[in-house]
Amino acid sequence: MEPTSAAGSGYVVTKVMSAVAGLIGGLSLAVFWQPEKIRAHGKMAAGAIIGGISVGGSVALSGIVAKQLGLDMTNADTALGLGFLMGLISVGIINFLANFFDKREKADILDVAREVRSSAAKPPAVRRKPPVKTGGRK
């Protein structure tokens, strides 16, 4: 009988927990926000696409983020929390990009580049309410 590696099984368990949490995170966002192009493929295909994005994002990115933040991925709470966040963020970024390119599908690439460049150069506008006129002295 050969000895088994406890470190290897811990790695697999951590990745599985991260993947399941990422799936839940990605699907929780997909319930509220889904691009039209993904929705047009049907519910099962949309679920498979979003599930693949969220699981792939959580498995690939949660270890990197944990290392950068100095967290221990062998801790179940850390694996689940980072997996959920990475699944949520990866689906959010893909949805944002899909909607961005869908709205500009007929536009020329130079027009899109000009729009991105001009919006990146401008600071965000601050909307101020006009002063309220009171019935005071004239």
Q: How do residues 93-124 score in pLDDT, each as one tens digit?
A: 988 888 888 888 887 888 888 887 887 766 66
Pick from 1, 95, 17, 65: nearest CA to 9: 17
Q: Model pTM greater than 0.85?
A: no
Q: Please give the pLDDT value at position 1.
A: 46
Per-domain boundaries in the chain: 11-121
Residue 138 has pLDDT above 60, yes or no: no
Which residue type, as a one-letter code, is found at position 95?
N
Alpha-carbon distance of 104 to 108, in angstroms, equals 8
Average pLDDT value for the chain: 82
Span 72-81, mean pLDDT?
A: 88
Choose between 42 and 124: higher pLDDT: 42
Q: Which residue has the higher pLDDT, 123 or 57?
A: 57
Angstrom distance (rounded) from CA 2 to CA 32: 49
Q: Which two tokens stand for residue 17?
A: 């927990």
| pLDDT of 9 above 80 | no
* Secondary structure (3-state) at 130: coil
